[in-house]
Amino acid sequence: MTVTYPHDRPLPHDTHMEEARPEPYVPVYARTRGSTRGRKGGVKTWMILAPIGVLVLGGGALALAMGQGDEVAPAPLVEPAATGPVLPAQ
C-alpha cells in the first residue's frame, strides 16, 4: 500500500504555492527502490530457491532408492477356523 501526500512536500524557494504538481508526493518510508532505479545484479530469489529444491528432491530420491532393500515380508494371513471352539461336555 502506498500513501501519498500531494501538498506536504517542501517547495523550492523559486516556486509558488499555487502551482499544481504533476506527481503526488510519496514519503520516504513508502517509496520502493525499484521505482527510483532499475534492479541491477544482486541475488534473485530463484538463485536461492533452485539449489535448495535440487537438494530436497535429490535427497528424497536417494532415500527412496536406498530404502528399497529393507522391505519387510507381509505376515501370512491366518485363516479363520471353520468351526467354532469345542467346549467340554458338562
At 13 the pLDDT is 65
Show the domain range for 3. Answer: 1-37
- 79 is a domain residue: no
pLDDT interval class at 36 (50, 70, 90)? very low
Residue 17 pLDDT: 57
Does residue 30 fall inside a structural domain?
A: yes
31 belongs to a structural domain? yes
* 82: in domain: no
Kindly provide the b/e burial profile for residues 22-55, where b requires at least 16 CB atoms within 10 angstroms of the residue's own CB: eeeebeeeeeeeeeeeeeeeeeeeeeeeeeeeee
Q: Does residue 8 fall inside a structural domain?
A: yes
In a domain, 20, yes or no: yes
Q: Please report the pLDDT score of residue 40 as a whole number.
A: 65
As for how many domains the chain has, the answer is: 1
- pLDDT, tens digit, for every residue of 44-90? 899 999 999 999 999 999 998 888 765 666 777 777 767 777 788 87
Residue 23 confidence (pLDDT): 79
d(CA 35, CA 11): 22
**What are the pLDDT digits (tens) for 10-19?**
666 666 555 5
The string of DSSP letters for 32-82 reads: -HHHHS---SS--HHHHHHHHHHHHHHHHHHHHHHGGGGPPPPPPPPPPPS
Could you give the count of Cα atoms lying within 13 Å of 50 in the half-sphere of its Cβ? 5
